Structure 1
Amino acid sequence: MDNAITGLHHITAISGNAKKNFDFYTKTMGLRFVKKTVNFDDPHTYHFYYGDQTGTPGTILTFFPWQDIMAGRRGTHMATEVGYSVPEGSLDFWLKRLDAANMIYNKPSAKFGEIYLTFLDPDGMKVELTVPEKTDDRVPWETAEVSAANALRGFHHVTLTLEDIQPTADLLVSVFGYQLEKNLANRYRFKAPAGDTANYIDLVEAKGEQRGHVAGGSIHHIAFRMKDDAQQAYYREKIEALGLHATQQLDRKYFRSVYFREPGGVLFELATDTPGFAVDEPVDQLGTHLMLPSQFESQRAEIEQKLIKLD
């Protein structure tokens, strides 16, 4: 079990207006703004990171906010839902809060024996708040309006919608060590037994459904935790042995990444836990400065002028 995957590292999505995205996730949802940086391939576009106090793996939701990007479409061959864990008794709080923010939401329902609330964020991305069967003891980030009694703990699950779940399920089980835990109609829940939190992947089989389109309001990719470079290299080798092309390791400053597309078409990432988000600013100042990749530092004045102001 030393090399076992424990669960999700982060989830990356695409949004439109940067200010609207920032306000919603920091103010309405009460997440910490862990890092303000830019896209490695498009330095005039932000890359936002939201999470807990330090950006612990399993709590990190990131966004590429492209102004005026067309809306995406949920469908097959993509990740379609971000699932957060919330405390027991907190859903009434979230219902009122989402209502006050004019968000689209559904009344709480039950799935796999757990109560959950579904809503759409400002760009239409589907988010679920789930009260887990087992109490989630992760220490949340608190704000003046969102106390620990209600605050998001981090990821509970992510959902992939696929034409045929079997090839993806085979990868999760035979390579990543997940186990099929529950099945409800066309939804299959897989668990990483080595992890206690952020360790569920739901596969929804939607035969004949239209293929999705990744754009605004869509999940771009999901990342799995790698404790170190050695574990990442181990899984990269296993992925390559299946005939799935995996990139070389890429330095993302706060973690090191390997990317590949799983058989169902969803972009997967293997991301190291280290070095973490305090590598370039102290924990008590996370998210308060614009942190640029070193190759863009010489362009700081131009980049700052073109980025949308958040204040």
Structure 2
Amino acid sequence: MRKILGHHHISMITKNAKKNDEFYKNILGLRRVKKSVNQDDPSMYHLFFGDLAGSPGTGLTFFEIPMVGRTYRGTNAITQIGLLVSSKESMLYWKSRFEELNVKHDEIIRYAGREALPFEDPEGLRLILLNNNGEVIPEFWTSWPNSNVPSEHQILGMGTIEITVKNSSKLEKTLTEVLEFVVKERSAEHIVFQSIKGQGFGEILVKEMDGPSERPGRGSIHHLALRAKDDEELNYWNEKIKERGFHSSGIVDRFYFKSLYFRESNGILFEIATDAPGFTVDADIETLGETLDLPPFLEERRVEIERRLEPLD
């Protein structure tokens, strides 16, 4: 049976790769698993953060656009990223860490049925820590031994992703009828969907809100990528999306995975990406993210590309 296996990664916009790198490595304790470039515009960095190997479902990725302006928040946007931690003790650890390191955050609340700690990165990107409380996570998610966060409190991977749209019924039809998500919870405030029933690492929380659409800028979310097991399943989703009348990018080889892109009726951009081959296809697990890695079709332009990028540690 073909299934969306959860989240694969999520991609955002940053104005400053150096400051972004510092926050996600040194404050959140994630591993930078790939330092590369936007394959469609190699003048800009594309940074990937995650667990030991940047496993599918743990990836936070950022495109650096130095000239980008501020985000004007609104509807028809992906509006918050949920990140799972293991326990109530981890929630308290992170609250204390945020206070010590002057990270903007709120008090611990309830969100999507879990204890939750909302916070923002330096560019205003909205994130929320979620207590996984011993629930199932993918067995291949692996903590990073060199993180400055103790292993028992490290961020596990992605949880509930919040999407705010003008027309939630259209998005619901896309999620349930095309992508085969199931409804976990429905209330006057939101609907929670799961790619696999009972598993929180593939959750999407949908809110309906009228008003101006978000104008993206620094700290905004560009797209959400969902997991497909392999090339065969990616082809299946590609055909199903086209049959529904959506425009598909067709299958694109990103070297670290293959994927497709489509926009649903509210304008939300989704990607569906394969697990393989992963970020170790051109680097050893011990040295992931330390040097600038380029896909083979860009390798002959390495000197030009490196000349235009500001060096990162």
TM-score using structure 2 length = 0.94
For 1:48-197, what aligned pairs fall within 5 Å after superposition?
A: 48-88=47-87, 89-136=89-136, 138-143=141-146, 145-193=148-196, 196-197=199-200
- Between the aligned partners of 2:198 and 2:307, the Cα distance in structure 1 is 43
- Between the aligned partners of 1:228 and 1:95, the Cα distance in structure 2 is 38
- Between the aligned partners of 2:52 and 2:200, the Cα distance in structure 1 is 17
Q: Which of these residues, 217, 220, 239, is aligned with residue 218 of structure 1? A: 220
> What code does the residue aligned with 1:310 have?
L
> What is the aligned partner in structure 1 of residue 10 from structure 2?
11
Superposed displacement of residue 262, structure 1: 1.1
- Between the aligned partners of 2:279 and 2:147, the Cα distance in structure 1 is 24
Conservation of the 8 A alpha-carbon contact between 1:254 and 1:279: yes
Superposed displacement of residue 198, structure 1: 2.0
Q: Identity over the aligned pairs, expressed in percent?
A: 37
- Between the aligned partners of 2:93 and 2:195, the Cα distance in structure 1 is 30
Runs of 4+ in structure 1 over 6 Å off: none
Per mean C-alpha deviation after superposition, the further-off stretch among 185-194 and 75-84 is 185-194
> What code does the residue aligned with 1:111 have?
Y
> What is the aligned partner in structure 2 of residue 302 from structure 1?
304
Q: What SS does the corresponding residue of 2:153 show, helix, strand or coil?
A: coil
Conservation of the 8 A alpha-carbon contact between 2:3 and 2:228: no
Superposed displacement of residue 239, structure 1: 0.8
What do residues 51-102 of structure 1 show as CA deviations (whole Å, max 9, x unaligned)?
1111111001110011241012222111111100012111222122222332
> What code does the residue aligned with 1:9 have?
H
Q: Which of these residues, 278, 285, 288, is aligned with residue 286 of structure 1? A: 288
> What is the aligned partner in structure 2 of residue 262 from structure 1?
264
Q: What SS does the corresponding residue of 1:161 show, helix, strand or coil?
A: strand
Conservation of the 8 A alpha-carbon contact between 1:30 and 1:142: no
> What code does the residue aligned with 1:5 have?
I
Shift in alpha-carbon separation, 1:91–1:142, aligned structure 2, 3 A? farther
Aligned residues: 309
> What code does the residue aligned with 1:216 have?
R
- Between the aligned partners of 1:227 and 1:136, the Cα distance in structure 2 is 18
Superposed displacement of residue 133, structure 1: 4.7
Per mean C-alpha deviation after superposition, the further-off stretch among 259-268 and 139-148 is 139-148
Superposed displacement of residue 140, structure 1: 2.3
Shift in alpha-carbon separation, 1:14–1:8, aligned structure 2, 3 A? same
> What code does the residue aligned with 2:59 have?
I
RMSD: 1.6
Conservation of the 8 A alpha-carbon contact between 1:116 and 1:128: yes
TM-score using structure 1 length = 0.95
What do residues 244-294 of structure 1 show as CA deviations (whole Å, max 9, x unaligned)?
000111111100111100122100011111111111011111101101122
Gaps of 5+ in 1: none
Shift in alpha-carbon separation, 1:216–1:308, aligned structure 2, 3 A? same
Conservation of the 8 A alpha-carbon contact between 1:228 and 1:274: yes
> What code does the residue aligned with 1:267 have?
L
Q: What SS does the corresponding residue of 1:238 show, helix, strand or coil?
A: helix
- Between the aligned partners of 1:306 and 1:197, the Cα distance in structure 2 is 41
Gaps of 5+ in 2: none
Per mean C-alpha deviation after superposition, the further-off stretch among 166-175 and 143-152 is 143-152
- Between the aligned partners of 2:217 and 2:147, the Cα distance in structure 1 is 33
> What code does the residue aligned with 1:232 have?
L
> What is the aligned partner in structure 1 of residue 26 from structure 2?
27
What do residues 99-132 of structure 1 show as CA deviations (whole Å, max 9, x unaligned)?
2332211111012431101111111110000002
> What is the aligned partner in structure 2 of residue 272 from structure 1?
274
